[in-house]
Amino acid sequence: MSYEKELAAAKKAVSLAACLSQEVQKTLLQSQVWKKSDRSPVTAADYGSQAVVSLVLERELQPEKLSLVAEEETGDLRKKGSEEFLEGITKLVKDTLASEESYAGSPLSTDDVLNAIDCGKSEGGCSGCHWILDPIDGTKGFVKGEQYAVGLALLVEGKVVLGVMACPNLPVASAVGETDKSSPEDVGCLFFATTGSGTYVQPLKGNSPPQKVKVSSNENLEEAKFLESYHKPILIHGTIAKKLGIKALPVRIDSQAKYAALSRGDAEIYLRFTLSGYRECIWDHAPGSIITIEAGGVVCDAAGKSLDFSKGKYLAHETGIIVTTKKLKPWILKAVRESMEEENLYF
């Protein structure tokens, strides 16, 4: 199955959500960053992006019932005192959709926006079709004006078959290196992949045709580039890198933009080991995983097993996530196993 219709709808939805997020990021003040009940940051862009994607998928695909597994919920938006914030989100969504000619003039109320966000309450699972969305992946990076992504994937019978990811601040050239010299015209990428068809990228702006991308062919670990998240340093990452003989310091990038960078050969390794007890949400990895795999890469847990997205909102996997090339995988798994044994971590 080619998923042409689904891919076209997903690209439109993600591109519009990225436009909304860029408008918010231009003028975002610290006072406009809310805290959710779990104390994590959230902005109008998180909610607005989720509403836009939900509304576009409904309009373009007209499913009998849209099943969307997404990060945001409307509980805080429905509380007293949130009216002005919700009105602002509604205006953002309305203005964004109006930029697409076929959507111009469509009425949109605050209730419509709330209902669109609430479409994301699906639990996913191993049967049927489910869209998986992270409306703003890397909110901390987004707030700082740095890297973030809008990631959308399609899960069919427990398997990820399609992924689209917008990285509005990712350089069109390399994301690793002297990225601060990229002009505003040279940033913003849209990555997409469907199972068995490869991975492609095109600039978010303009009409440049998509270009097929492949992971790095580098087999020299000393020259390998290593990506990790902007979080508290994870000691085992350094231990693994030392065992592999990697000389360069890790490059820290927020969000699934790391998957995107690796898929086009900007780096060879992305490690994600988290604190004990942390559960990985499927929306944090589903879009990036298929984009990397279709570019010739591998995504697995510390035991070398493929990630399982069929168990609901959380990944069923062993400790740690490894993203790399097929040629480097055996060496990395060996270094991971030895490092975990030294630190008394077990599968």
* Separation CA 278–CA 197 (nearest Å): 33
The C-alpha atoms of residue 230 and residue 141 are separated, in whole angstroms, by: 8
Catalytic annotation, pick one of 43, 46, 90, 301? 46
**Residue 297 · residue 260 · CB < 8 Å:** no
Q: Which two tokens stand for residue 264?
A: 């086009």
Contact 61, 9 (CB under 8 A): yes
One-character DSSP codes across 10-51: HHHHHHHHHHHHHHHHHH--GGG-EE-TTS-EE-HHHHHHHH
Residue 180: how many CA atoms within 13 Å on its side-chain side? 0
For residue 198, give the 3-state DSSP assignment: coil
Residue 74 annotated to the active site = no
Contact status, residue 144 vs residue 166, Cβ threshold 8 Å: no
Residues 6+ apart with CB under 8 A from 85: 34, 44, 77
241-274: string of b/e by CB count within 10 Å (b at 16+)? Answer: bebbebeeebbebbbbbbbbbbbbbbbbbbbbbe
* 327 CB-near residues (< 8 Å, 6+ apart): 217, 219
Can 134 be counted among the known catalytic residues?
no
Radius of gyration of the chain (CA): 19
Active-site hit among 96, 139, 195, 324 = 139
CB 183 within 8 A of CB 51: no
User: Hey, what are 341's tokens?
Assistant: 């044994």
Per the CB < 8 A criterion, the answer to whether 53 and 45 are in contact is no
Catalytic residues: 46, 139
